[in-house]
Amino acid sequence: MATNKSKKSGTVQPIATTAPKKLHTTKTLWLPPALAVFITFICFTTALNNKFVNWDDDRNFYENPLVQNITKENFWQNTKEIFSSGVIGNYNPLTIWTFAIEKIYFDFDKAFNWHLNNVLLHLMCVYLAYRIVLLMGIGWRGALLTALLFGIHPMRVESVAWVTERKDVLFGVFYLAALLQYVKIKLDNKSIRWLWLTTFFILSLFSKIQAVSLPLSMMAVDYFMDKDWNLKSLMPSFIKKLPFFALSLGFGAFGVYMLKDFGSLDTLEDTTNFNFIQRLFVGAFSFVIYLIKLVVPFRMSPLYPYPNYFPWYFYPSMLIAPITIYALYKSYLKEYKAVFFGLIFFIFNIVFLLQILGAGQGYLADRFTYIAYLGLFFIAGYYFDQWIYKNPSKSSTAIGIAGVYLAVFAFMTFQQNKIWENSATLWTHVLKYYKNTTLPYGNRANYYRDNKMYKEAIADYNTTISMKELQPQAYNSRARLYFDLAKGRDSLMLALNDYNKAIQYDPKDGEFRVNRGATYARLGNIEKAVEDLNEGLKLKPDHAVGYLNRSIMFHNLGKVDLALKDIESYLKLNPSNGDLWYEKGRALRLLNRPAEAIPAYTEAIQLQSSNQALFYYERSRTYFGLNMINEAKADLQKAIEMKFQAIDPTYRQQLGI
């Protein structure tokens, strides 16, 4: 490695603008990053057999209508809607778009493919991290250590093993690709690289709003790679990046708007009642914990809930601010460029995620460090490389120590992936550390309920309800369980009582009204059922199940025209339900509109429901009523081939089959 001695400190510094010419051999380009990628893949093999979890996976893709209902036919229409809307307050349309593509090819019953794509994207990030560090002048050994730390550090697990966090690894690929282009620009200044840089940056912003920090990271690269950089260089460096700052500002403002519009963002106070000053201490505490977890990744949890009170140990954490400022000052003054670069890179990429404004359910998140830690890994790689360069006789000792440390990280990551196996393992792990939080109990109970583990579900619902006085969602969830299990009036009354409590505590939640309406219907109180369904859909007009339930009620009351209207409302929200297209066709026939029923039956058949034979048979009867005999015969023959059992022998005889 080419070096130069700092006049002020005597430390060895790389000359990044000339070193790559000597360092770029086939060996350094491919063998070390291939090793880093391979080891990272082995560590994440335990993530590949995981299932989806009921923490945002539902709202991001498997219950997201834009993903759930996508087909090759409506692909571009859904794409347009994906890029013009947010999901639970987040604007990350490119990530949602990748989910939509996966839905077309893999559907939701092949979680392996979704997890594999997350892992592959992470492996791409590992390679890019290696290339960035190598081109910035660190030798291949230091670059390999940096890439391995980036790849297998246990704090990576949340970003890779959780499908919803596709946005981390996807934005990471484009963010690091953009940063790599900028490093190359520092070396050869080819104009085409600016185009690639801009393209990758925009794709990164569309993947996750966190990419807004890229212009700041580019300025950090200027500091490290520009040989004659000084404070006078700061303003020219900033001005050259104004277009990128403008993009960051635009996307950042839109992201804040989306969070606020959804209700995820509280500017000064949140449900914990922490004021803005206290939130500064929360941010400082988070910063300290991220630094500690860098070295000792302890007590890793998918959720770090806010405490119910403001604990005393948050206050001394603010001491990290002057300590950090002093570290930056001394490293700048003494020209410890790697330390200054790594620390400022970390700060630039973590500062917007310190929860000072209060978005999110926890004050920490392992995934927030995905890009930010690269700066601190850079410091480790740099000094590892310097040690080997200056102490070749002791290189085996340094490599051995690093190997043991990495082996520990590899084992921890291998094991940590397993907590994401399913929703039960996920929330059970959270409850190891946070037993006084309702969210883990409620979500685990929902998983138990959906998997017919009713005893365990009831126990968790009861625990949730006992923890706080007002738990409307828990009452609603327990009521749904009673409703599903009900074999008589007594169980239905248990459900009704819980729905009453849920509505009492939160009268503006339309879902509670819709669910109580279904309960009244099973109890035979049709008047109250319709009243609740009407009110629930007024409060929550996008509640598809509400329209379905009310359509059944109207059918039972003989109001087929109103039932049809609700079926059509349902299909606008969930057009991939073949059974409801069939019900639409049936309603149209009852209303003596058989010609309009044919397209509805056809849509039902194309969606390939398990009731497809019935759909062919009913379309055959409809064709027969329209005197379209050949079409009627073809459909009846299809129903016979599919072994449909309820064929009217008289009708079959009429068609001569």
pLDDT tens digits along 112-164: 999 999 999 999 999 999 999 999 999 999 999 999 999 999 999 999 999 99
Quickly state the pLDDT bin for 26 (edges 50, 70, 90).
Answer: low
For residue 19, the model assigns a pLDDT of 40
Task: Give mean pLDDT, residues 255-265.
Answer: 66
Write down which residue in 376, 400, 420 finishes a domain: 420
Secondary structure of the chain: what % helix, strand, coil (to 5)? 75, 0, 25
Determine, yes or no, domain membership for 606: yes
13 pLDDT exceeds 60?
no
Instruction: Decide if pLDDT at 261 tops 70.
Output: no
The pLDDT of residue 7 is 38
Binned at pLDDT 50, 70 and 90, residue 96 comes out as very high
Q: What's the Cα-to-Cα distance from 347 to each of 48, 287, 352, rounded to whole Å? A: 32, 9, 9
| Tokens matching residue 244 | 């990128």
Which H helix or E strand runs over 161? helix 157-161
* pLDDT of amino acid 118: 98
**369 lies in some domain:** yes
Which residue from 59, 56, 89, 83 is spatially nearest to 262, judged by alpha carbons?
A: 89
Lowest mean pLDDT among 253-262, 297-306, 546-555, 645-654: 253-262
* Among candidate residues 420, 451, 481, the one where a domain is terminated: 420
Instruction: Record the pTM.
Output: 0.87
User: Which residue has better confidence, 223 or 28?
Assistant: 223
**Does a structural domain hold residue 2?**
no
Query: Distance (Å, rounded) from C-alpha 518 to C-alpha 271?
Result: 32
pLDDT higher for 510 or 261?
A: 510
Given this model, what pLDDT does residue 309 score?
A: 84
Residue 386 is predicted with a pLDDT of 93
Quick check: 153 and 370 in contact, CB under 8 A?
no
pLDDT at 1: 36
Q: Is the pLDDT score of 536 beyond 60? A: yes
Find the CATH number of the domain harbouring 628. 1.25.40
pLDDT of residue 291: 97
Q: How many helices (H) and strands (E) does the chain have?
A: 33, 4
Does the pLDDT of residue 257 top 80, yes or no? Answer: no
Instruction: Find the Cα–Cα–Cα–Cα dihedral 534, 535, 536, 541, rounded to 10°.
Output: 70
Helix (H, G, I), strand (E, B) or coil at 648: coil
**What is the Cβ-side half-sphere exposure of residue 640, based on CA atoms within 13 angstroms?**
13
* pLDDT at residue 467, rounded to an integer: 85
- In a domain? residue 47: yes
Average pLDDT score over residue span 605-628: 90
Number of domains in the chain: 2
The per-residue pLDDT for 14 is 42
Q: Considering the domain boundaries, does residue 497 fall inside one? A: no
Please, which pLDDT band fits residue 267 given cuts at 50, 70 and 90? very low
Tokens of 621: 């009867």
Last residue of a domain, one of 402, 420, 438: 420
Handedness of CA 240, 241, 245, 246 (dihedral sign): positive
481 inside domain: no
Domain holding 607, by residue range, is 589-657
CA angle 156, 301, 327 (to 5 degrees): 60
Q: Is position 525 within any domain? A: no
In a domain, 68, yes or no: yes
pLDDT digits (tens, 9 = 90+) for 234-247: 888 889 999 999 99
